[in-house]
Structure 1
Amino acid sequence: MMKSTGIVRKLDELGRIVIPKELRTTYRIKEGDPIEITTAEEGILMKLYRPGCSCCNEVSELTEVNGIRLCADCIQKFVRGGQR
């Protein structure tokens, strides 16, 4: 469920909006941070982009293997699965 902030912003001629400083501070969004934009029935959703494990979306203990991000648990599952 979305919660209204009571803040309204207008789009500029290039389709940009400014995320209010209060929200950037609350969500620890800094200049240059990647923002993921998705859609839902309620409207447009934006969130700080944090890439996760390609298998389970876990965001801690990630290792990149041949360009694929994997968490420690998924790496162990693949290792155990490969030993027959």
Structure 2
Amino acid sequence: MKATGVVRAVDQLGRIVLPIELRRNLNIDIKDSVEIYVDGDMVVLKKYEPACVFCGNAREIKHFEGKNICSDCITKLSK
């Protein structure tokens, strides 16, 4: 894991502001969703990217009845 040297305080509502430099580097825009993971005693933030419910692929995602399905799985299902 790469250290950034950035330290931010948690406010009284539990919020943390991500610096613009980090948001630019990680391509996180206003209103983007961020996933939160816990790894031991660390909290890890990752830009949320929807993935296929069948294979986990995050490319060429289509939405079907509230589910994310990739093009490859759509092709396999149509056979």
TM-score interval, normalised by the smaller of the two chains: 0.7 to 0.9
Matched, 1:49 2:48: yes
Opposite residue 65 of structure 1, the aligned amino acid is F
Number of residue-to-residue matches in the alignment = 79
Question: Could you list the runs of 5+ residues in structure 1 that have no partner in the other structure?
Answer: none
SS of 1:44 mapped into structure 2: strand
Task: Output aligned runs, 1:1-84, within 5 Å.
Answer: 2-41=1-40, 43-80=42-79
Aligned-residue sequence identity (percent) comes to 41
Is there any run of 5+ residues in structure 2 with no aligned partner, and where? none
Measured after TM superposition, the shift of residue 79 of structure 1 is 2.5
The RMSD of aligned alpha carbons is 1.4
What TM-score comes out, normalization by structure 2 length?
A: 0.87
Offset from partner CA, 1:22-59 (integer Å, 9 cap, x none): 10111121111111111112511101111111111212
Using the size of structure 1 for normalisation, the TM-score is 0.82
